[in-house]
């Protein structure tokens, strides 16, 4: 898609200073809603330059991870705004796009699918991003183009978050890849077709959903080489039942996860929130997940024990794994019951109380029994958050090996 320069601007990130900013738009960017015409999925609306990060800065970031990750060069960051579809309607979505500063052909594209994030300002494409700089350092700093979806409900999209809704996140990711290819061409870059996926927590489920979608229908211009899922909630229905057991129900963050799931699924599947939650929490929860709140603002509102969120009769049905609208929806969004063809590495920490290790083990067991190209990697006695940090070095080494073997 032809691109023309539209404006120059400046965006300051919370932790880093970015310079040399600019914006590129598609020639049709002035048509801002789906009523003007039928927008193509993955159509690039805007490419906004966020500025460069030099090699020294990226090396400092990469050095925070175990494994002595070297960084070969600097990178340039952009924000992509593009068209996707959600619940049958065209919507704007966004993501972060990072490219090596050097202009030779990249090794391929790495998609990083981030973990649970409730605050819009912390979206990867926003200045105060929580995810994006690390992946830029490790991958863009070593010759890959890097793409991070903001997810539906974060970034520029104003819809409620499609939290743990596999098809919605997969569609938005595939459309971002289409837009990234247009951006790459418009910038005069040469990107290898090799595609690598990496996802943590919520992003692990999304990585599995995107991998599965690509094997059902390959994406033009890309060749899926391998994926990594870290601490992903793949077996959603079983995971919810397990985490509502007395041994896990009062674990830190559980009430937040369950409130987020109930809020997202109620809206997406068309059920009143008070069918699931007590009247008190049904009234309070929507405001907690409107994109303006931080995780710290949830704790004073939510109970210590996640079971207290639910209406007693609904809780009993969930704990017994009885069939109802929520268990059926969770079943629809599980990503553990398929067999990858391209290699999929499953990582987990033994001390993870946020996403129980059984989720990774269930995915591996099913896929292996059905001939899937999967491997299981236990990271030892580490918790949810540290499982991600331990995976960057082996991910880079594996992606490099796959890239060299193409």
pLDDT in tens, 156-180: 999 999 999 999 999 999 999 999 9
pLDDT score of 105 = 83
pLDDT score of 103 = 78
CA angle 208, 210, 215 (to 5 degrees): 95
CATH fold of 3-234+337-404: Rossmann fold (3.40.50)
C-alpha span between 238 and 355 (Å, rounded): 11
Q: Taking 80 as the threshold, does the pLDDT of residue 24 lie above it?
A: no
Query: Can you tell me the mean pLDDT for 216-244?
Result: 96
pLDDT digits (tens, 9 = 90+) for 174-219: 999 999 999 999 999 988 899 999 999 999 999 999 999 999 999 9
pLDDT digits (tens, 9 = 90+) for 63-111: 999 999 999 999 999 999 999 999 999 999 999 999 999 877 899 999 9
Q: Taking 90 as the threshold, does the pLDDT of residue 26 lie above it?
A: no
C-alpha span between 71 and 58 (Å, rounded): 7
CA angle 384, 296, 274 (to 5 degrees): 90
pLDDT score of 28 = 33
pLDDT digits (tens, 9 = 90+) for 356-382: 999 999 999 999 999 999 999 999 999
**In 150-255, which ranges are E strands?**
194-200, 223-230
Same fold, 3-234+337-404 and 236-332: no
Element holding 48 (H helix, E strand): strand 44-53
Q: Say which residue, 231 or 26, is predicted with more confidence.
A: 231
Q: Taking 90 as the threshold, does the pLDDT of residue 333 lie above it?
A: yes
Name the residue among 156, 131, 119, 120 with its Cα closest to residue 256.
Answer: 119
The mean of the pLDDT values for the chain is 90
Out of 21-30, 40-49, 284-293, 381-390, least confident range: 21-30
Query: Can you tell me the mean pLDDT for 312-319?
Result: 94
pLDDT score of 263 = 97
Q: Taking 80 as the threshold, does the pLDDT of residue 332 lie above it?
A: yes
pLDDT above 70: percentage of residues in the chain: 90
Query: Can you tell me the mean pLDDT for 112-136?
Result: 95
Q: What is the CATH number of domain 236-332?
A: 1.10.260.160
> Please, is 256 exposed, middle or buried when counting C-beta atoms within 10 Å of its C-beta (0-12, 13-18, 19+)?
buried
C-alpha span between 363 and 357 (Å, rounded): 10
Query: Can you tell me the mean pLDDT for 388-392?
Result: 97
Name the residue among 373, 240, 378, 261 with its Cα closest to residue 319.
Answer: 240
pLDDT score of 405 = 87
Q: Where are the domains of the chain?
A: 3-234+337-404, 236-332
Element holding 214 (H helix, E strand): helix 202-216
Q: Taking 80 as the threshold, does the pLDDT of residue 34 lie above it?
A: no
């Amino acid at each position: 898609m032809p691109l023309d320069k539209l404006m120059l601007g400046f965006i300051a990130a919370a932790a880093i200073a970015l310079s040399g900013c600019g914006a590129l738009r598609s020639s049709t960017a002035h048509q801002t809603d789906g009523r003007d015409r039928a927008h193509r999925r993955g159509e690039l609306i805007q490419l906004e330059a966020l500025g460069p990060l030099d090699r020294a800065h990226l090396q400092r970031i990469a050095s925070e991870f175990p494994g002595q990750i070297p960084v070969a060069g600097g990178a340039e960051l952009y924000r992509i705004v593009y068209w996707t579809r959600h619940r049958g309607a065209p919507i704007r979505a966004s993501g972060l796009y990072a490219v090596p500063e050097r202009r030779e052909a990249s090794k391929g594209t790495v998609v990083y699918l981030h973990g649970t994030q409730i605050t819009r300002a912390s979206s990867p494409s926003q200045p105060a991003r929580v995810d994006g700089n690390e992946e830029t350092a490790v991958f863009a700093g070593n010759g890959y183009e890097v793409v991070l979806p903001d997810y539906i409900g974060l970034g520029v999209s104003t819809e409620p978050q499609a939290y743990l809704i596999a098809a919605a996140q997969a569609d938005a990711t595939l459309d971002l890849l289409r837009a990234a290819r247009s951006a790459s061409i418009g910038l005069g870059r040469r990107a290898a077709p090799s595609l690598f996926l990496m996802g943590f927590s919520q992003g692990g489920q999304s990585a599995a959903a995107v991998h599965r979608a690509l094997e059902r229908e390959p994406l033009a211009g890309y060749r899926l080489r391998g994926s990594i899922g870290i601490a992903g909630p793949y077996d959603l229905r079983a995971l919810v039942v397990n985490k509502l057991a007395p041994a896990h129900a009062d674990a830190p963050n559980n009430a937040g996860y369950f409130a987020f799931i109930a809020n997202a699924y109620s809206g997406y599947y068309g059920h009143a929130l008070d069918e699931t939650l007590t009247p008190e929490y049904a009234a309070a929860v929507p405001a907690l997940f409107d994109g303006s709140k931080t995780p710290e603002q949830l704790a004073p509102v939510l109970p210590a024990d996640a079971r207290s969120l639910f209406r007693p009769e609904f809780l009993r049905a969930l704990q017994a794994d009885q069939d109802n609208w929520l268990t059926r929806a969770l079943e629809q969004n599980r990503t553990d019951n398929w067999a990858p063809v391209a290699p999929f590495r499953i990582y987990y920490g033994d001390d993870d109380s946020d996403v129980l290790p059984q989720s990774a083990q269930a995915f591996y067991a099913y896929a292996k029994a059905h001939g899937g190209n999967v491997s299981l990697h236990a990271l030892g006695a580490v918790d949810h958050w540290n499982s991600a940090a331990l995976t960057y070095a082996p991910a880079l080494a594996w992606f490099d090996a796959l890239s060299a073997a193409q």
